[in-house]
Structure 1
Amino acid sequence: MSTTEVPADSVQVVVKKEEQQSKASGTSGVKSFLSGGFGGMCLVAAGHPLDLLKVRMQTSTEYKSTLDCFRKTLAESGIRGMYRGMAAPLVGATPVFAICFWGYDMGQKIMRRVYNMSPTDKLSTNQILFAGGFSAIPTTALMAPMERIKCTLQVASGSGGGAAYKGPADAALGIIRTGGVRSLFKGTCATLLRDVPGSVAYFGAYELIKKALTSQSAGQGAISPAAIVTAGGLAGMANWAVAIPPDVLKSRLQTAPEGKYSGVRQVFVEMMRTEGAGALFRGMGPAMLRAFPANAACFLGVELSLQAMNRLW
């Protein structure tokens, strides 16, 4: 009985293709979850001081500019004050961004199933935008209480001007004592109004810019760190260009005394009546300043951790 010899190169090609297909279809959800969590930690570490300035400017009229807010915050609390409220988003960043990137992966899978596409088929721009918007839905359930605690800590004064909390747990207990457990979820609708369009812009801009900056002949996995950083930073700016008005409403609602507002609609009506449309863009400066480095760090963390996991399994 004769046997047909198969060239070793052909065997290697087949094995590599099988490995790639397995990676594309088998554990992408797990990898998206883990890499998203790591990326979220990178984002918080890089961007929290400017996020604090953004929230303070959104919830107070005492600051003339981003620089003025920075100077007064530094004079009041020192450099440590710039990281007030960081523990809550840092602890929450891992599950929140893990769920966000998992949700984005699930959104892509929905599109592939609806259009009967294989795991290796490239999605269209509209399909990517859908997946981005879908990612905000599961994320909001965890994001809203985390944002509530973070914003409460960020506007709390350590000099007697308001309620001061020892940390996230103390702030959460204080919120619950004042308004009950339900109060932790104040601003959930506002968070959803912010994050659905914001996530559409976020993931859409990242994928499109990354594609434009990546050589067509380089292959799927050959993406330069410079392209990731540039695309990630610009994606963050695209997100906030869309999301800043509902974010202002969310911050006002979440930091207001218990019972002041019945919902985000009342916040909007009162703001328009007393401050005008310009108030919806308060905090745009620090939000944009933070967006590039924070989200560049986030996507770099996501991509590098994905590459590391792809090498491991």
Structure 2
Amino acid sequence: MGGMFFPFISTGAINSLLFGIYGNHLRQLRKVCHSDYQREQLEYKNMFWAGSVAGFVQSFIACPMELIKVRFQTHCYYNDYLYGQRRTLFGTVKRILKNDGISGLYRGLLPMMCRDVLPYGIYMLAYRQSVDYLDNTEFVRRRRNHPDGSNVSLLVTTMAGAWAGVISWVCVIPFDVVKTLMQADENHKFRGIIHCVQVNYRAYGWRSIFRGSWMLVARAIPFNAATFLGYEYALECCHQYDTYV
């Protein structure tokens, strides 16, 4: 369970940053359109680019956080259980800065950007397209007209968020594995992405860069469903506040 507190407090901040940048950039892209028709025609494209820009920006914030989490969790295991030595979160950060300087916090940034930039565009696009598809199904249309049909929006958001998470993660599992291997490599055994892949391929075969795939996909379903439920709830609260004001 070591290292749970830090990702617990950092995940919310990263998601807030991600969706905040996404929403602001999407609004800017919509303003460029000269008519409602043009905005409607470019909506999916704008969502993809807004998601990609958000993924690019947040990777610079998330990379140090994920590196600290990986190092802390790794050394919690080796130090606590194997050597009986406990390393604190502050001690982990101090050790990284002492050995590698500020640049050490950005080890694994390139594979992380490969994991986050375009895939976050796919993530946002897949969610919106899934919502639009489900909204046009006969089941959802009938439930919306039902007196108890308020829960159908919850169902649509949950299913679309889960599907978007699965689609985006399936595309990036190798990059996430390489990113984690490079960030856990405190002794700098890997010189870069290609070298990391080559070393693991020679030692364990091509399956080495897909290790933990089923766990990542399984985690993506509830995590991303909850993420979009929170996102839609926040949007609804903001809309109600603007209406009230």
**Smaller-chain TM-score bracket:** 0.7 to 0.9
Aligned with residue 58 of structure 2, among 114, 139, 145: 139
Whether the aligned pair in 2 keeps the contact of 1:153 and 1:171 (CA below 8 Å) is yes
Q: 1:110 to 1:272 in 2, by over 3 A?
A: farther
From 109, 113, 116, the counterpart of 1:195: 116
**Distance verdict in 2 for CA 1:162–1:173, change over 3 Å:** farther
Taking the TM superposition and a 5 Å limit, the aligned residue runs for 1:68-83 are 81=1
Which of 62, 67, 70 is equivalent to 1:148?
67
Aligned-residue Cα RMSD (Å) equals: 2.6
State the one-letter code of the partner of 1:304.
Answer: Y
Distance in 2, Cα, partners of 1:263 & 1:163 = 30
C-alpha distance in structure 2 between counterparts of 1:227 and 1:161, whole Å = 49
Q: State which of 127, 142, 155 in structure 1 corresponds to 2:46.
A: 127
Displacement after TM superposition at 1:253 (Å)? 0.2
Match of residue 181 from structure 1: 102
- Counterpart amino acid of 2:130? I
81, 84, 91: which one aligns with 1:170: 91
**Contact 1:178 1:258 survives alignment (8 Å):** no
Which of the numbers 20, 35, 39 marks the counterpart of 1:102?
20
Q: Is 2:7 the partner of 1:85? A: no
Amino acid corresponding to residue 73 of structure 2 in structure 1: Q
How many angstroms does 1:114 deviate by?
4.4
User: In 2, Cα distance between the equivalents of 1:163 and 1:143?
Assistant: 28
* Alpha-carbon separation, structure 2, partners of 1:236 and 1:263: 27
Flag as ranges the 4+ runs of structure 1 deviating above 4 A: 161-164, 215-218
CA shift for structure 1 position 161: 5.4
Alpha carbons of 1:262 and 1:113: their partners in 2 closer, same or farther (altered >3 Å)? farther
Q: C-alpha distance in 1, partners of 2:87/2:108? A: 20
> How many equivalent pairs are there?
228
Give the equivalent residue in structure 2 for 1:24: none
Q: Higher relative contact order by CA 8 Å / sep ≥ 6: 1 or 2?
A: 1
Deviation at 1:102, TM superposition (A): 2.1
Question: Secondary structure, in 3 states, of the residue corresponding to 1:85?
Answer: coil
CA–CA distance in structure 2, aligned partners of residues 282 and 97 of structure 1: 25
Cα shift readout 1:21-63 (whole Å, capped 9, x = no counterpart): xxxxxxxxxxxxxxxxxxxxxxxxxxxxxxxxxxxxxxxxxxx
Alpha-carbon distance in structure 1 between the residues aligned to 2:6 and 2:117: 22
Pick from 183, 186, 193 the counterpart of residue 254 of structure 1.
183
Structure 1 position 151, deviation (Å): 1.2
Structure number with larger C-alpha Rg: 1
Change (3 A) 1:252 1:138: same
Equivalent pair of 2:127/2:160 in contact (CA under 8 Å): yes
C-alpha contact 1:233 1:296 (8 A) present in aligned 2: yes
Matches of 1:201 and 1:170 in 2, distance apart?
37
Task: Decide whether the 8 Å contact of 1:152 with 1:254 is kept in 2.
Answer: yes
CA distance in structure 1 between the partners assigned to 2:118 and 2:182 by the alignment:
19
Could you give the per-residue CA deviations for residues 123-142 of structure 1, whole angstroms, max 9, x where no partner exists? 43333222222211111110
Which whole-Å CA distance do the structure 1 matches of 2:84 and 2:10 have between them? 24
The answer (yes or no) to whether the contact 2:33–2:39 under 8 Å persists in 1 is no
TM-score (norm 2): 0.83
Give 1:193-232 correspondences, 5 Å limit. Answer: 193-215=114-136, 224-232=153-161
TM-score by length of 1: 0.66
- The CA distance in 2 between the partners of 1:273 and 1:181, in whole Å, is 32
Give the CA deviation at 1:214.
1.9
Pair 1:237 & 2:166 matched: yes
Cα gap change, 1:245/1:131 in structure 2, threshold over 3 Å: closer, same or farther?
A: same
In structure 2, the CA distance between the partners of 1:163 and 1:273, relative to structure 1 (3 Å rule), is farther
CA contact (8 A) 1:153 1:164 kept: no
Q: Is the 8 A contact 2:157 2:225 kept in 1?
A: yes
AA partner of residue 268 (structure 1): V
Aligned residue in 2 for 1:302: 231
Q: Which runs of 5+ in 1 are unaligned?
A: 1-80
Once the two structures are aligned, what percentage of the paired residues are identical?
A: 26
What is the Cα deviation at residue 259 of structure 1?
2.6
